[in-house]
Amino acid sequence: MTIFNKIVAGEIPSYKVAEDENFYAFLDINPMAKGHTLVVPKKTEEDYIFRLDDNTFAGLMQFSKRVAAAIEKAVPCKRIGIAVIGLEVPHTHIHLIPINKESDMNIGNPKLKLTSDEMAEIAAKINREFK
């Protein structure tokens, strides 16, 4: 069981921004930007996105698109960048990162230090915009 399975199951707390029967989106606790969100499939043991079955892959992308639209409305930015790295946690996931310039996507950039109140406020704003 991965840390993301435990988050989805509620065993580890998270700042949830969106959820449906198959997917779960929550704020990254080491964000590159305010609103940096991780999107995961709930029911998978696969850790490599390109090994997902076609329906799960398509559903993950469609759900991520809806989450990105909510982030864009809730967090001032020019675009939502998308990254799939897949090496740090053995569970398929997508990073959705609010960006204003290309260098905002540099994973080597210092991470933000946000309080739990700030994280909760951002998550609530995104959740209110999620359709």
Catalytic residues: 93
**Assign residue 86 a region: left if phi > 0, alpha if psi is -120 to 50, beta otherwise?**
left
119, 116, 95: which is closest to 107 by C-alpha?
A: 95
Neighbours of 3 (CB within 10 A): 12
Report the distance separating Cα 93 and Cα 60, nearest Å: 9
Residues 6+ apart with CB under 8 A from 122: 15, 27, 34, 35, 74, 75, 114
Report the distance separating Cα 40 and Cα 23, nearest Å: 6
